[in-house]
Amino acid sequence: MLLPKTHTLYLAPFQGITTQVFREIFTRHFPGTDKLFTAFFTGINNEKSLRSRRKELEKTSHNGVPVIPQILSKDAGEILLFGKLCHNMGFSEINWNLGCPFPRVARKMRGSGLLPYPEKIMEILETVFPSLPIKLSVKCRLGYHNADEIMALLPVFNKFPLSEIIVHARLGEQMYKGNVDTDTFRKVLQQSMHEMVYNGDIFSPADFEDITQQFPQLNYWMIGRGLLADPFLPGQLKGIPIPEPPLGVIRKYVDDLYYTYRKAFNDSLRTINVMKEFWSYLSLSFDRPERVFGKIKKCTSFDAYEDAVNFALNNYTWQGNGGKKIK
Ligand SMILES: Cc1cc2nc3c(=O)[nH]c(=O)nc-3n(C[C@H](O)[C@H](O)[C@H](O)COP(=O)(O)O)c2cc1C
């Protein structure tokens, strides 16, 4: 009998959410994730510029799951410096963000704003690779304006020993709207000589089944919003049963996250803002998401937050995301 195929699952980076605290607590409570990414670093001109975010790079793995630091840059020197610093801290790979869609980033030819310029990307990779002491992977979209851009870029990527290419199968201009373009992703797979990772709109086991059937040759998948909404998802995709009752685990998870942030932020109310961002996704797995999030969103004190969370956990039912499209 053939053994079921084992899939490798990555947690997508989210600025402001998938922090070092989150990565530690998430992997403590939920099985199934094989790789973690930091949100992007930028403005790395010297070792000192890491100072305020050095904590983000304190651990090269969380509960046995490796961390890949990510850089957003169009400057070969900056990528090299970041690679060297990460290498010295014990990391084995860095990831180059060519996917960020935000206009203030893209307008400056960074993130997905660099995708229409394959010659510039070539120049950067030519400068970086000879001196880089660490593996380099890329996370990109299909293009900024149109999907021809990735097709022009693949011959460039093919010239360099990138460790893998993660593709969020949308255009930069789309931001997070509209559908993923699996037809173009199929063409990308045919043209690329690298290990490829699919990313985009995997929200449920049914979505995963659908995408793995479309791409049976792929082994690597990155999941973002689906996993923030339903942290049981990676385990489920690997056949690990959801513990009963699920809300027992969710309660421990959200409490652990909340108290660890309070400690990390010296009891500052910043904790509430981070938890609100986090609950904007997690609430989607309850039977009444708008009620759950509505109450938490209004909180301005620790007492109010704790009451709102207790109310949600005592009065609403955990359903899992169940395939709803997340915006
Ligand atoms: C609020 C927010 C912050 C994000 N921050 C980053 C980031 O720092 N680096 C990155 O490569 N992608 C970032 N992303 C993109 C996600 O990693 C992921 O590619 C995207 O959500 C698509 O995957 P999904 O459909 O599984 O959510 C961010 C997305 C959102 C919505």
Ligand 1, closest atom to CA 72? Answer: 9
- Give the per-residue pLDDT at 214: 97
CA 153 / ligand 1 centre spacing (Å) = 21
Q: How confident is the model at residue 295 (pLDDT cuts 50, 70, 90)?
A: very high
Q: Which residues sit with their C-beta closer than 6 Å to ligand 1? A: 12-15, 39-40, 70, 97, 99, 139, 168, 176, 199-202, 223-226
- The mean pLDDT of 77-101, rounded to a whole number, is 97
Nearest to 260 by CA among 23, 16, 11: 23
Protein residue with least CA distance to atom 8, ligand 1? 39
**Within 13 A of 129's CA, how many CA atoms are on the CB side?**
14
- The mean pLDDT of 232-243, rounded to a whole number, is 95
Report the percent of the chain where pLDDT is more than 90.
93
CA 314 / ligand 1 centre spacing (Å) = 31
CA–CA separation, 16 and 39 (whole Å): 8
From 9, 10, 11, 14, give the residue whose CB has the most ligand 1 atoms within 8 Å, as the site to mutate: 14
CA 287 / ligand 1 centre spacing (Å) = 25
Residue 95 predicted with pLDDT over 50: yes
Q: 194-224 pLDDT, tens per residue?
A: 999 999 999 999 999 999 999 999 999 999 9
CA 91 / ligand 1 centre spacing (Å) = 22
Q: 9-65 pLDDT, tens per residue?
A: 999 999 999 999 999 999 999 999 999 999 999 999 888 888 778 899 999 999 999
Phi, psi angle pair for 194, to nearest 5°: -100, 165
Protein residue with least CA distance to atom 2, ligand 1? 14
The two beta strands, 93-98 and 135-143, are parallel
* Radius of gyration, alpha carbons of the chain: 20
Nearest to 81 by CA among 66, 91, 71: 71
- The mean pLDDT of 141-151, rounded to a whole number, is 98
- Give the per-residue pLDDT at 18: 97
From 22, 168, 208, give the residue whose CB has the most ligand 1 atoms within 8 Å, as the site to mutate: 168
Ligand 1, closest atom to CA 99? Answer: 11
- The mean pLDDT of 121-126, rounded to a whole number, is 98
Burial class (CB in 10 A: 0-12, 13-18, 19+), 113: buried
Residue 4 predicted with pLDDT over 90: no
**Within 13 A of 271's CA, how many CA atoms are on the CB side?**
23
The pLDDT mean for the chain works out to: 95
CA 110 / ligand 1 centre spacing (Å) = 15
Residue 152 predicted with pLDDT over 60: yes
- Give the per-residue pLDDT at 47: 80
- Give the per-residue pLDDT at 1: 44
Nearest to 233 by CA among 6, 9, 1, 3: 9
3-state secondary structure 11-56: ECCCCCCCCHHHHHHHHHHCCCCCEEEEEEECCCCCHHHHHHHHHH
Residue 252 predicted with pLDDT over 70: yes
